[in-house]
């Protein structure tokens, strides 16, 4: 006699659903599926890795394309993350393997910058700040600078209208100062040999002075505000005047008889930008050596690039950090160094 087998309600449908899930899982892991999907993503990943690896080979002949890329080079890491998400959604093993190249290149270039390298033992604190010619409240900005308790302060983009305010507000904390053109240097330590530096602009936007440290050692301090750069559709990254000024500044620093040198200022370029090599090739970045993170300084509302710099040679940076925003479109930067 035949027996009838009854199933619980929904049991058949559950088995079908489990079977379909297992089938999808098997399909997901099938080599012919994983390795054939995402070929375009894999190609994009390899191209991204090559662009980062060979960024110094990208020519500047057309619109200074190489320098423009190098200015925002760290942000290419977002491209790696985007491709990773797409590769996972596409379930492509090929794309995931290809992503190893750009991820490795980015980590090699910038992995060291995402860790905190700050130390202790500094005996001189310096600050640089482009205060912005259109700053609506120079007095408040000056108060913020005083509150930083820095020993030496460099200010750029000083105007004839705002300069008396800065002088008045900084006078008590910084008894020594020099202003040359639109840049100035304020110090708690004595300043000597102050004067302008010719960076081939036609007017003064750089200076040099000697600071006497607490132990009597002499430190040459340069303050510079290199020409601005622009990105134009018809001309690309217009940085010719800045590049010429960087060359002149680099020559002045190299020829300085004092062996301990600090450079403070708005260079309108990053440490990655090859066009600043006359300066960057002979100096260390305080942020790169002793900072925490990338330390982007501009624009203040959403910093995307570190175009303000604290660099030195013959001196050890101990720590580097960004200060709170002021009325400027740049963030002030600080560093502690050991003389």
Q: 164-190, pLDDT tens digit by residue? A: 999 999 999 999 999 999 999 999 999
Q: Which of 177, 172, 130, 131 is nearest to 152 (CA)?
A: 177
What local confidence, expressed as pLDDT, does residue 315 receive?
Answer: 96
Are residue 248 and residue 132 in the same domain, yes or no?
A: yes
Which of the listed residues 114, 145, 163 is the one where a domain comes to its end?
114
Are residue 94 and residue 179 in the same domain, yes or no?
A: no
Q: What's the domain count of the chain?
A: 2
Find the range with the poorest average confidence among 24-38, 194-208, 294-308, 322-336: 24-38
The verdict on residue 2 lying in a domain is no
What is the Cα Rg of the chain in Å? 27
Q: Strand 333-338: give its sheet, edge to edge.
A: 176-180, 183-187, 152-156, 124-130, 333-338, 316-322
Are residue 219 and residue 317 in the same domain, yes or no?
A: yes
Are residue 66 and residue 129 in the same domain, yes or no?
A: no
Question: What is the CA 238 to chain-centroid distance, rounded?
Answer: 19
The verdict on residue 3 lying in a domain is no
* Residue 298's CATH number: 3.60.10.10
Q: Can you tell me which residue has the tokens 């054939």?
A: 36
What local confidence, expressed as pLDDT, does residue 35 receive?
Answer: 80
pLDDT at 147 over 50: yes
Domain with 82 in it: 11-114
| pLDDT, tens digit (0-9, with 9 covering 90-100), for 244-253 | 999 999 999 9
Burial code (b: 16+ CB inside 10 Å, e: under 16) for 149-161 equals: ebbbbbbbbbeee
Are residue 220 and residue 130 in the same domain, yes or no?
A: yes
Read off the tokens for 140.
């408040």
Are residue 63 and residue 98 in the same domain, yes or no?
A: yes
Contacts of 202-206 with C-beta under 8 Å, sequence gap 24+, read 204/180, 205/156, 205/181, 205/245, 206/180, 206/181, 206/245, 206/249, 206/252, 206/265
pLDDT at 277 over 50: yes
What local confidence, expressed as pLDDT, does residue 33 receive?
Answer: 67
Please give the full DSSP string across 234-246, using - where no structure is assigned: TTEEE-HHHHHHH
Separation CA 137–CA 122 (nearest Å):
32
Are residue 156 and residue 21 in the same domain, yes or no?
A: no
pLDDT at 16 over 70: no
pLDDT at 32 over 60: no
Are residue 210 and residue 159 in the same domain, yes or no?
A: yes
What local confidence, expressed as pLDDT, does residue 5 receive?
Answer: 46
Residue 214 is classified by DSSP as T
| pLDDT, tens digit (0-9, with 9 covering 90-100), for 190-232 | 999 999 999 999 999 999 999 999 889 999 999 999 998 766 5
Separation CA 326–CA 144 (nearest Å):
7
Q: In the structure, what pLDDT confidence band is assigned to residue 236 with cuts at 50, 70 and 90?
A: very low
Q: Which of 223, 289, 208 is nearest to 255 (CA)?
A: 208
Helix (H, G, I), strand (E, B) or coil at 331: coil
**How many CB atoms are located within 10 Å of the residue 311 CB?**
27
Are residue 110 and residue 137 in the same domain, yes or no?
A: no
Read off the tokens for 12.
């058949």
Q: In the structure, what pLDDT confidence band is assigned to residue 1 with cuts at 50, 70 and 90?
A: very low
The verdict on residue 35 lying in a domain is yes
Read off the tokens for 35.
């390795």
Question: What is the CA 337 to chain-centroid distance, rounded?
Answer: 19
The verdict on residue 119 lying in a domain is no
- Pair 117, 290: CB distance under 8 Å: yes
Q: Region 291-313: what's the mean pLDDT? A: 96
The verdict on residue 164 lying in a domain is yes
């Amino acid at each position: 006699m035949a027996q009838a087998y009854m199933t619980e309600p929904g049991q058949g449908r559950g088995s079908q659903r489990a079977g379909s899930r297992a089938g999808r899982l098997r399909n997901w892991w099938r080599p012919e599926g994983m390795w054939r999907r995402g070929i375009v993503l894999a190609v994009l990943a390899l191209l991204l890795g090559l662009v980062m690896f060979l960024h110094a080979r990208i020519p500047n002949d057309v619109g200074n394309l190489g320098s423009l890329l190098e200015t925002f080079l760290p942000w290419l890491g977002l491209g790696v993350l985007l491709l990773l998400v797409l590769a996972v959604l596409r379930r492509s093993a090929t794309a995931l393997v290809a992503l190893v190249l750009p991820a490795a290149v980015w980590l090699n270039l910038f992995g060291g910058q995402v860790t905190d390298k700050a130390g202790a033992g500094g005996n001189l604190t310096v600050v640089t700040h482009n205060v912005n010619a259109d700053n609506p409240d120079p007095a408040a900005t000056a108060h913020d600078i005083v509150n930083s308790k820095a020993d030496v302060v460099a200010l750029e983009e000083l105007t004839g209208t705002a300069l008396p305010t800065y002088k008045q507000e900084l006078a008590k904390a910084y008894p020594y100062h020099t202003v040359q053109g639109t840049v100035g240097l304020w110090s708690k330590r004595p300043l000597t040999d102050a004067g302008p530096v010719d960076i081939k602009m036609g007017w003064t936007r750089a200076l040099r002075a000697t600071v006497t440290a607490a132990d009597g050692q002499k430190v040459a301090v340069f303050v510079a505000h290199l020409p601005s750069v622009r990105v134009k559709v018809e001309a690309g990254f217009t940085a010719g005047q800045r590049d010429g000024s960087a060359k002149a500044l680099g020559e002045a620093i190299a020829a300085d008889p004092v062996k301990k040198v600090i450079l403070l200022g708005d260079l309108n370029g990053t440490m990655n930008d090859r066009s600043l090599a006359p300066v960057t090739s002979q100096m260390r970045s305080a942020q790169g050596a002793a900072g925490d993170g990338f330390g982007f300084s501009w624009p203040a509302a959403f910093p995307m690039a570190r175009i303000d710099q604290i660099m030195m040679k013959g001196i050890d940076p101990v720590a580097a950090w960004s200060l709170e925003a002021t009325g400027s479109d740049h963030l002030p930067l600080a560093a502690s160094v050991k003389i």
